[in-house]
Amino acid sequence: MPRHVPGYVSESKLALMLGITIWGLRAWRRRGYGPKARKIGREIFYAETEVAAFLDPAADA
């Protein structure tokens, strides 16, 4: 199982970064909110570039 994928943030690490639980992050994903998730192996990861865009939406403008 991959634990670290270059250029991606794990589900648990992103939840810590955002100050929410993994379950909260999963609820966001079900609702279509937050950065796009990708399944790699059995785990969920988020692209670092998409996380950065989600955290600073003004950077996209």
Q: Is residue 2 situated within a structural domain? A: no
Given the DSSP bridges, would you call strands 43-47 and 37-40 parallel, antiparallel or unpaired? antiparallel
Q: Is residue 3 situated within a structural domain? A: no
Q: What is the mean pLDDT of residues 16-23?
A: 96
Q: Is the pLDDT reported for residue 61 higher than 80?
A: no
pLDDT range class, residue 60, cuts 50, 70, 90: low
Nearest Cα neighbor of 50 from 33, 32, 36, 30 is: 36
Q: Is residue 38 situated within a structural domain? A: yes
Question: Is residue 38 within a helix (H) or strand (E), and if so which, with residue range?
Answer: strand 37-40
pLDDT, tens digit (0-9, with 9 covering 90-100), for 21-40: 999 999 999 999 999 999 99
Domain count, the chain: 1
Q: What is the mean pLDDT of residues 36-48?
A: 94
Instruction: Give me the domain span that covers residue 29.
Output: 8-60
Q: Is the pLDDT reported for residue 3 higher than 70?
A: yes
Q: What pLDDT is attached to residue 9?
A: 96
